[in-house]
Structures are given as structure tokens and as C-alpha cells.
Amino acid sequence: MSPVVQVFFDTATSTATYLVSDPATGAAAIIDPVLDFEPKGAVLSTASADAVLAAVRDQGLTLAYVLETHAHADHLSAADYIRRETSARVVIGAEITRVQKAFIPLFEADDVSADGAAFDILLKEGDELPLGEISVGVLHTPGHTPACVTYLVGDAAFVGDTLFMPDYGTARADFPGGDAATLYRSIRKLMALPLETRIFVGHDYLPPGRDSFQWQTTVAEQRAGNIHVHDGVEEAAFVSMRQARDATLAPPTLILPSLQVNIRAGALPAPSASGRVFLKLPVTFAGTTDVARPAAP
């Protein structure tokens, strides 16, 4: 059965948020929602998430889940906001604990534990969630991060950052716990799905020669034309390309605010004694991992 898929594209972060629903019952899930964040003024907004929630209400849908494909490094998640507004359960891959263990010490995030408890449901490969008369299946597709999962809903696969549109390629694999060889094997797993499977990507960036955003492709199109990993590209060649490319990439603009929120399932850090909320910016000396400390007086 084919679910109804609606996309809400955030141009500020090039993120595709999906509203997926069962046409028979109206049961619905939101995949990878965005919490708007203006970094220069550190201003948060729920406008993007509210647009998706308005569609849920206007169409008479029953929201069951917020599905996170991974802990995003390029945008803040609106999962917790949507959970508080609707009582939908927040879902992520069980390996999120590895991501939490990597980043909780960096942010000294004493108000969150590395056991995945900030999320409501942790899934592993082969698990299924009911969504009306259809179900949400899970493939573990690590490589970009160790916790990445793909959600299979009917004939649709929501791949997060594992694959992009064929003319843009694949995700970076240089984040903590990422690995290019693992990414290649995850992609081959996706390429083994039926050729007609609809693939919905987590982001789109405009490559040379294209001037409109796209987010839907198929397994057949990926196998025939993905510029990084089409049929015939061997693992060693992919790993060499991916590692060389990743070495040229700067960190995402919102990586530090995003990760400290997203390891909390989109919740903000606990407020200070004054009631204000602060996001931390761990500082290091250029070219090292040494913590920067004030000079002695």
C-alpha cells in the first residue's frame, strides 16, 4: 500500500520534513521536523513545525509518531515541541545511545542520560510500528552516524541523510561514529529494495545545472545515476572518494546548537537558576582538540 506523503521543505537548512499518513485511517507520522533557529540572534521559532501541525489538523489526521532518522547536525529538531503539543511519541534508532555517549561529555550535558530515555521509542532493524492499516518498518543504515535508520512505509523509504538526490550523491561520513565503508554497505542495502521503491531524501542541495529543489527519487534512479554510488561503483572506490571529499568539508553551521538539542530528542537544555536557557559553545584552539582556557592574569 502507498502512504500519502507530503513534504515541507525548509530552505534555511535545506531540510525535507515529511508528513506520512495512512489513506484508509488517517493515522500519521512526521519525519524529521525542524525547529527554526536564527543563529546570529539565537532566536528560536516553531513556524516550520506549526505548518506541519496545521496540515495534520486541517486534514483530520491522527498523529501517532515523530520519526527521527538520526540526530541531525544541521538543524534543531522540533520533535519535543510536537510531542508536547500532540502527545505523539518520539522515535529514533536504538544506536542513538552511541551518539549521546559521544556528545554528552562535549556539552557537559548533565541533564540528559546516554540511555536513549529522552526518546519514547528506540528501534532496531526489523522492528515495526503500526500506522493505521499500514506499518513503519526499520532498516539500520549507519555510516553517516552510527544511529541512522531508514523508515519503510509501504512503497516509500525515508532515508534521512544516507542518500541524496542522484545528481548530488551521498552523505558525509566524518562525524563521530561515522564511517565511509559502513555507509557504502548501508547504501547497498537500500539499493536492494524493489526498484520501484520511492526514496525520500532528508535534504536537497542544488548542484550545478539544477535550479529547483527535489526530494523524491526511486531505487532504480539511484542505482542507474547516483554520482557517487551507482551500480558498478565498488566499495574501495567509494570510500576513497568519500574520505577525500569529507576532508574538504567544513562543519555544518548549526552543528553545535543542533546536537546538544537533538541528543535530548529536540528538548532544550535545562534552564539556569534565573530561568533562562543557554546553548553551549565548546571552544578549542585552532588545529587542536585542546580546550581553550583564559590566559593567566
Q: What is the reported pTM?
A: 0.94
User: Does any domain span residue 282?
Assistant: no
Chain segment 155-203, per-residue pLDDT in tens: 999 999 999 999 999 999 999 999 999 999 999 999 999 999 999 999 9
pLDDT for the residue 202: 97
CATH number of the domain to which 221 belongs: 3.60.15.10
**Mean of the per-residue pLDDT values for the chain?**
95
Q: How many domains does the chain have?
A: 1
User: Does any domain span residue 287?
Assistant: no
CB count, 10 Å around CB of 227? 15
User: Does any domain span residue 285?
Assistant: no
User: Does any domain span residue 145?
Assistant: yes
Rounded distance between C-alpha atoms, residue 123 and residue 197, angstroms: 22
User: Does any domain span residue 271?
Assistant: no
Chain segment 39-65, per-residue pLDDT in tens: 999 999 999 999 999 999 999 999 999
Compute the chain's Rg from CA coordinates. Answer: 19
What is the edge-to-edge ordering of all strands in the sheet holding 89-93?
4-10, 15-21, 27-31, 62-67, 89-93, 121-123
pLDDT for the residue 294: 52
Rounded distance between C-alpha atoms, residue 235 and residue 182, angstroms: 10
Domain containing 167: what range?
4-262
User: Does any domain span residue 286?
Assistant: no
Rounded distance between C-alpha atoms, residue 245 and residue 249, angstroms: 7
Chain segment 218-264, per-residue pLDDT in tens: 999 999 999 999 999 999 999 999 999 999 999 999 999 999 999 99
List all residues 6 or more positions away from 128 whose beta carbon is below 8 Å from its beta carbon: 135, 136, 137, 138
Residue 5 has pLDDT above 90, yes or no: yes
User: Does any domain span residue 295?
Assistant: no
* Cell numbers representing residue 180 in the block: 565511509
Q: Are the C-beta atoms of residues 227 and 166 closer than 8 Å to each other? A: yes
Rounded distance between C-alpha atoms, residue 198 and residue 195, angstroms: 8
pLDDT for the residue 283: 87
